[in-house]
Amino acid sequence: MPLKANSPEGALDDKWTKYRSTMNLVAPNNKRRIDIIVVGTGLAGAAAAATLGELGYNVKAFTFHDSPRRAHSIAAQGGINAAKNYQNDGDSVFRLFYDTIKGGDYRSRESNVHRLAEVSRNIIDQCVAQGVPFAREYGGLLANRSFGGVQVSRTFYAKGQTGQQLLLGAYQALSRQISLGNVEMYNRHEMLDLVIEDGKARGIIARNLLTGKLERFGAHCVVLGTGGYGNVFYLSTNAMGSNVSAAWRATKRGALMANPCYTQIHPTCIPVSGEYQSKLTLMSESLRNDGRVWVPAHKEDVMAIREKRMSAKDIPEDRRDYYLERRYPAFGNLVPRDVASRAAKVACDEGFGVNKTGLAVFLDFASAIQRYGKTEAHSNGIHNPDPKKIEELGKKVIEAKYGNLFEMYEKITGEDPYDVPMKIFPAVHYTMGGLWVDYNLETNIPGLFALGECNFSDHGANRLGASALMQGLADGYFVIPYTIGQFLSKEIRTPKINSDSPAFMEAEKDVDGRLKKLLSINGSQSVESFHRRLGLIMWEYCGMSRNAEGLQKGRKLIQELRAEFWKDVFVPGSDDEFNPELEKATRVADFLELGELMMVDALDRNESCGGHFREEYQSEEGEALRRDDEYAYVSAWEWKDGDDPILHREDLEFENVELKTRSYK
Amino acid sequence: MSWITNFLTSSIGRKLIMSLTGLFLIQFLLIHLIGNLQLLVDDGGEKFNLYAQFMTTNPVIKAASILLYAGILLHIIQGLLIWKQNSGSRNTRYAVSKNPNVDFSSKNMAWLGTIIMVFLILHLWQFWFKMKFGTVPPIDYNEGTGPVKDLYTLVAAAFKNPLYVIAYVIGMIVIALHLKHGFQSSFQTLGLNHKKYTPFIKGLGLIYSILVPLGFAIIPIYFYFFR
Amino acid sequence: MKLTLKIWKQKNNSSAGKFETYSVEADEHMSFLEMLDVLNQSLLEQKKEPVVFEHDCREGICGSCSMVINGQPHGPNKGTTACQLHMRYFKDGQTITIEPWRAKAFPIVKDLVVDRSAFDRIIQAGGYISVNTGQAQDGNAIPIEKGLASEAMDAATCIGCGACVAACPNASAMLFTSAKVSHLGLMPQGEIEHTKRVQSMVTQMDSEGFGNCSNVGVCEAECPKGISIENIARMNRQYIGSVFGSQTKVEKA
């Protein structure tokens, strides 16, 4: 069955404007009678809940955290893109649209991406009005920096804590609606099932994590802003609690999961240090503005470094391989994430990795320190500065720009990055795939909407830096408040949803059965140990590069692991108390199914694009080989318990950009 | 509740009372010290006794002293109320409590205050009460004031007792510690924290909290050893 | 390295808690929470209840972790959350005592997990700028002095972990509250409603059962984000100014 995106007709740049002015509205008196459930209170969820509350709907918002302010959006460091062109460097809505489409390796939907680029400008205005303390220039105006994959400076930032500040802005807007009574907030409540009545999403089953009690909530529609599923890899830059369960429960109820194999491996993370490791820490991409990536050009230097006989500083310039600058002279260290990650993998696969595991490359700030030091000396009127003074001044500039990141690096590794180059390695960071949605952000289940990282729509096969925050807020503040009306305008005669109806009771019974089952297995292995094993399988067979044989094997291994999980997992405690192990068990159970679907999707996509690199499809130089003639579509999967997933295709039509081989050379 | 009672019972309102009465008592200490230093003048107590007479009879000073008593009482009562409220803010205490970065006096203001209160009772009973309600033998300096109460002799006698000397020196150490935190803290409570001026206020507070109690402590020591 | 852990175990808020002693084998490159993971893994292997602690991002920004390590919230390292604290700062054979935040306003949920919803209610009382989506003017319409913006940013960097309350001898929430009052009050956008904001937030803070600030300054010393007590002074100033210098009256709930 081909899927319909429901993109409005007309020229690309006035699709949204026209659509917005002609779509159905819900009158204020009717809004007061309509209930909306918003699950997840990160950037997308909190922004949506706050805005829908402002509009007058009755909103119930849910988070499994103790407070909406803890959502993982908070950890985004680098910044948020917007086509403001404040720097006068040639930016425009079309250019942001084009960069995003190209960055996504031509696997996203034109109409959605263009809308994203359009509203990006409103986001900055809105956030400034909310009091987000963006970085500013001396003249008091907003500052920008540049990010990977683009040639303009359009990224707005608040130190290395942009996600935190934007989330707090949304959290505060949400708090205001809570205090006004427009939003009812349910903290420490986890959605464990979606309830469908007459083919429409009408509510959720949530577990009160404090008491363990299952609760039924009915509403006219359900909005998911529950983030991505990177934790299927166990080791990722995601928070420990980030999970796929809300989206996966929707998938199990018939929603389609689109492009699950598109995962973003972020090039600049702190390398793994040991087996006990629980998560990986990202070093913002903004570091690549000033840091140069390299490995030694000779194997004997590599060995010397691994054995600590030499330090990076001892290696002369002519014995270093700045491989990104060498391979991609046009973009250099600022190539997109997928390209940078793969290049690091190539260098390490060839045996040039610089730590004892052989899985690390250098990110070096020495040249930037020199460059800034000289400029700074000049502007301070020092004409013949000695090298020490230059270094001192240069380090100060670097500290002002990235101080908190450098501090974090030192805390974790115990090494001083001002002195020796950082060691970095790629790690799972973001998932471009997610629930399939149309132009209205509505899934194939009427009344079920998905926002932010939870949906698949805007980033294609690879996301550009500083675009996740943009998409989350665009969906929450400026898209869903309009598009939800298309569905709700038909629901004004629907009375309050009765959460005691058979559909609700049945869903509750299902969930209860699942929890009881997990507790009754009483096996011998912890949930965490299954999660770790799943992660290893995913990384090995569905990680930075994939091949058909490995994917088939991986799928089989996951099926076996899942069977073992349901036979031998140990979950302590009971279901009528605060029980984090039980929470984890439900999430890992869902990952064990999602992981299989990812393998299926990666196997089906016989091409390399963005974050999905199939070894069989590469050029002679080792670059990704996209196959537009056969694979310019979105793979939306229907999950069948115990059977092969069914593929539904949405063909991607490109009317405004020409499909080209992505080149950053 | 009216806005003013609302304010006075708010945490910041309570602290403001502590701060203002504290600052008032701080300036009183300096005035008190300047007066008392006359005890060190080697004139058989004439200057001091005349000063004491002036302080107890002048109507303006009398009115001001009522303000002082009120200030002391308010500072004590409010302090006790805050103490009670603060100790109720934590049901279980920490098994291990280590605050490597915290000043001793900052943590122990309530205890220091209590010791000062005990000291104050002793001090008032010993001199103030006797001066006001007791019988202090008069002395006449023929300065036109008539006979005045000879507080000087009373003080000199008291400070021949080593226990009193020790009590007074300890009292002054405790006051010094109380001032060390109280001086700068009262500015913080008033909202006067400024990158440029606060270091100056803190420095002044430190000097003040050393010099003033030191000045007071010299008196009993001087009497004990040199009179 | 071998460590002895004394950890507070408490089933829920209505039952009594006590310390349990565990021993664990750790690696110096582990984070503190990874060390607890190792402990929990071994407890689970013995089919025992693991130690429950709150954690999420493990990169020092979500503010979930809430444990007092050897008498200091988030442990001995300045400007570091428990999740970013690494075992290389401990010695082989050391005994480490781990307790939850202790404050009447933060009731214990289980073991090391506490309920910090009082913070949410303080923000709900006024920790926002009253602007609806879509009402904003251009982002560059109001220039803001760089220094001022960066001062606001320094205050806004609070992660809402509650270490200030945990460290304060009086369990006062002044640092948390004042950080938000400062952040919003410093920005021209937020200045407009600051008289009401400061009164509402202080009133809410007082009603939650936190203690009074006695300017001890331990909050600032223990804050993993280094929030300055200058913010407390600013809030005092604004509160006093708002009560006496404006027409705004805020009733107690």
pLDDT tens-digit readout, A543-555:
999 999 999 999 9
Confidence of residue A524 (pLDDT cuts 50, 70, 90): very high
- Cβ contacts of residue A504 below 8 Å, gap of 6+? A195, A203, A205, A216, A218, A498
Q: How far apart are CA A346 and CA A326, in angstroms?
A: 14
Give the containing element (helix H, strand E) for B187: helix B162-189
The pLDDT of residue A476 is: 98
pLDDT of residue C253: 66
pLDDT of residue B145: 76
Q: Which range, A224-228, A380-384, A388-392, B195-199, has the best average confidence (pLDDT)?
A: A224-228
As for the ipTM of the complex, it is 0.98
Instruction: Tell me the mean pLDDT in the region A559-577.
Output: 97
Q: Per-residue confidence at A362, pLDDT binned at 50, 70, 90?
A: very high
Phi, psi of A521 (to 5 degrees): -60, -45
Task: Judge whether B117 lies within some domain.
Answer: yes
Size (chain A), residues: 665
Q: Is residue B108 part of a domain?
A: yes
- Burial class of residue B59, CB neighbours in 10 A (0-12, 13-18, 19+): exposed
Contacts of A127 in chain C (CB under 8 A): 139
Beta strands A257-258 and A434-435 are: antiparallel
- Phi, psi angles (nearest 5°) of residue C100: -80, 170
- Give pLDDT, residue B99: 76
Task: Show Cβ contacts of residue A296 under 8 Å, excluding neighbours closer than 6 positions.
Answer: A302, A305, A315, A319, A320, A321, A352, A354
CB contact residues (below 8 A), chain A span 522-551, against chain C: 524, 526, 528-529
- The answer to whether B102 contacts C104, with C-beta atoms less than 8 Å apart, is no
pLDDT less than 70: residues of chain C? 253
Question: Residues with Cβ < 8 Å from A500, sequence gap 6 or more?
Answer: A216
B137, part of any domain: yes
Confidence at residue C144, expressed as pLDDT on a 0 to 100 scale: 97
Taking contacts as CB-CB distances below 8 angstroms, the residues of chain A near C58 are 239-240, 278-279, 281
By the 8 A CB rule, do A208 and A465 touch? no
Residue A359: pLDDT above 80?
Answer: yes
Confirm or reject contact between C94 and chain A (CB < 8 A): no
CATH 3.90.700.10 fits A266-428, yes or no: yes
3-state secondary structure of A568: helix
pLDDT higher at B1 or B105: B105
Subunits close to A (at least 3 CB pairs below 8 A): C
Say what the pLDDT of residue C251 is.
81
- What would the mean pLDDT of B53-71 be, rounded to a whole number? 93
Strand partners, A182: none
Top CATH class of C2-110 equals: alpha beta
pLDDT given for residue A583 in this prediction: 98
Which one is predicted more confidently, A551 or A338?
A551
- Asked if A122 reaches chain C (Cβ–Cβ under 8 Å), the answer is yes
Query: pLDDT tens for residues C39-98?
Result: 999 999 999 999 999 999 999 999 999 999 999 999 999 999 999 999 999 999 999 999
* 3-class secondary structure, C14: coil
Provide the pLDDT confidence category of residue B56 given band limits of 50, 70 and 90.
Answer: confident
Three-state DSSP at C197 gives helix
Confirm or reject contact between C14 and chain A (CB < 8 A).
no
Residue C105 near residue C120, CB atoms below 8 Å: no
CATH 3.10.20.30 in chain C, residues? Answer: 2-110
Query: Could you tell me the residue ranges of all domains in chain A?
Result: 266-428, 501-625
Comparing A150 with A495, the larger pLDDT belongs to A495
Q: What residues of chain C, 84 to 103, have a C-beta less than 8 Å from chain B?
A: 97, 99, 102-103
Question: Could you tell me if A646 lies within 8 Å of chain C, comparing CB atoms?
Answer: no
Structural class in CATH, domain A501-625 = mainly alpha
Give start-end residues of each CATH 1.10.1060.10 domain in chain C. Answer: 116-245
Q: How confident is the model at residue A269 (pLDDT cuts 50, 70, 90)?
A: very high
Q: Residue A265 has what pLDDT?
A: 94
* Predicted confidence band of residue A612 (pLDDT cuts 50, 70, 90): very high
Nearest to B102 among C210, C221, C240 (CB): C221
C112 CA: distance to closest CA in chain A (Å): 12
Which pLDDT belongs to residue B143? Answer: 77
Residues of C in contact with B102 (CB under 8 A): 216-218, 221
Cβ under 8 Å to C: A residues 375-434: 407-408, 411-412, 414
What CATH architecture is C116-245?
Orthogonal Bundle (1.10)
- C50 CB-contact burial (10 Å; exposed 0-12 / middle 13-18 / buried 19+): buried
User: What predicted TM-score, i.e. pTM, was given to this entire model?
Assistant: 0.96
Q: Closest by alpha carbon to B71, among B20, B7, B27?
A: B20
pLDDT number for residue A569 = 98
Cα torsion for C17, C19, C20, C22, to the nearest 10°? Answer: 140
CA B131, CA C23: separation in Å to the nearest integer? Answer: 68
Question: How many Å apart are CA C133 and CA A53, to the nearest integer?
Answer: 10
3-state SS class at B170:
helix
Please identify which residue in the block is written with the tokens 């690390």. Answer: A360
Would you call A627 a catalytic residue per the annotation?
A: no
Q: Which pLDDT belongs to residue A1?
A: 61
Whether A612 and A461 have beta carbons less than 8 Å apart is answered as: yes
Q: Give A78's pLDDT tier (boundaries 50, 70, 90).
A: confident
Q: Does position A311 have pLDDT exceeding 80, yes or no?
A: yes
> Does A241 contact chain C (CB < 8 Å)?
yes
* Start-end of H helices in A23-109: 28-31, 43-55, 93-103
In the predicted model, what is the mean pLDDT of chain A?
95
Task: Report the alpha-carbon distance of residue A663 to residue A102 in Å, rounded.
Answer: 10
H or E segment and range at residue A597: helix A580-604
pLDDT mean over A18-32: 95
Interface chains of chain B (3 or more CB pairs under 8 Å): C
Please, which chains are in contact with C (at least 3 CB pairs closer than 8 A)?
A, B
pLDDT at position A351: 95
* Structural domain contains residue B95: no
**Tokens at A479, concatenated:** 């898209």
With contacts defined as CB-CB under 8 Å, which chain A residues touch C82?
none
- A284 falls in which pLDDT band (50, 70, 90)? confident
Which tokens go with A121? 């400008």
Cβ-based contacts of B86 with chain C (< 8 Å): 169-172, 211-212, 214
Q: Write out the residue range of the structural domain in which residue B111 sits.
A: 16-88+102-226
Query: Of all helices (H) and strands (E), which one includes residue A638?
Result: strand A633-638
Q: Is the dihedral of CA B109, B115, B121, B127 positive or negative?
A: negative
CB contact under 8 Å between C12 and A578, yes or no, is yes
pLDDT of residue B1: 61
Average pLDDT over residues A380-397: 91
Q: What is the model's pLDDT at position A69?
A: 98
Q: State the pLDDT confidence band at A664, using cuts at 50, 70 and 90.
A: confident
Regarding chains B and A, contact by 3 or more CB pairs under 8 A is answered as no
A148 has a pLDDT exceeding 80: no
Q: How many beta-carbon pairs below 8 A join chains B and C?
A: 142
**pLDDT at residue A302 in the model:** 95
Rounded CA gap, A262 and A601, in Å? 9
Asked whether the predicted pLDDT for residue A634 surpasses 90, the reply is yes
Whether the CB of C230 is below 8 Å from some CB of chain B: the reply is: yes
Looking at the DSSP bridge assignments, the partners of residue C3 are C24
Chain A contacts in chain C segment 218-247 (CB below 8 A) = none
Q: Is the pLDDT of residue A445 over 80?
A: yes
Domain total in chain B: 1
Confidence of residue A122 (pLDDT cuts 50, 70, 90): very high
**Running DSSP on this structure, what letter comes out for residue A454?**
G
- Inspect the interface and report whether the beta carbons of C212 and B85 lie closer than 8 Å: yes
Looking at the complex, does the CB of residue A622 fall below 8 Å from at least one CB of chain C? no
Mutation site, C77, C150, C243, interface B, largest B CB count within 10 A: C243
Taking the CA of residue C136 and the nearest CA in chain B, the distance in Å comes to: 32
Confirm if B3 and C245 have CB atoms less than 8 A apart: no
